[in-house]
Amino acid sequence: MNNMRLHQTLNNEKRKQESVDILNQMLTDFLALALVTKQAHWNIRGLNFIAVHEMLDSFHEKLLDYADTVAERAVQLGGTALGTAEIITLNVSFEAYPGDIYSIEKHLKELQIRYAQVANTVREVIQEEKADPDTIDILTAASEDLDKFLWFIEAHENREK
């Protein structure tokens, strides 16, 4: 993502720079996904409002937890956690979220696209073992939750239409 100079640390992980770059991309995507989730949470209208509203709030909280974990891991490896609004805007891996939608169905469709993209990116990093083992462990936990969140979102879709 950035290849900034690493800070001095006695942590001898050989894949520090690669891991820090991956962690910062995940930080960007987790923060952006948390923000679009909250955007939907605030603006949804329709049947099952309270259930979806509360579901999205729980997803938001968990995404912020993962953002914090990956940011701290980047710093543990001697990197700099890059989580400002400007960096997120420049580096997010998915399309901008529409600000003019309100129905639960439309919000869930937009979220589904973004959750799937981030979940698939995380899984790709895990499968290709591009990062150090401890970073892979963090991403594996995140992957499990992203898959569950995507499943919950997709379960609201009426496929009988």
pLDDT at residue 158 above 80?
A: no
Top pLDDT among 144 and 15 is at: 144
Confidence of residue 16 (pLDDT cuts 50, 70, 90): confident
Contact 24, 88 (CB under 8 A): no
Top pLDDT among 157 and 61 is at: 61
Q: pTM of the entire structure?
A: 0.92
Confidence of residue 45 (pLDDT cuts 50, 70, 90): very high
pLDDT at residue 2 above 70?
A: no
Extents of the domains making up the chain: 16-155
CATH class, domain 16-155, is mainly alpha
Average of per-residue pLDDT values in the chain: 92
Model confidence over 80-133: pLDDT tens digits? 999 999 999 999 999 999 999 999 999 999 999 999 999 999 999 999 988 999
CA dihedral of residues 55, 153, 30, 143 (deg, nearest 10): 110
Closest CA to 23 of 1, 47, 56, 51: 1
Confidence of residue 68 (pLDDT cuts 50, 70, 90): very high
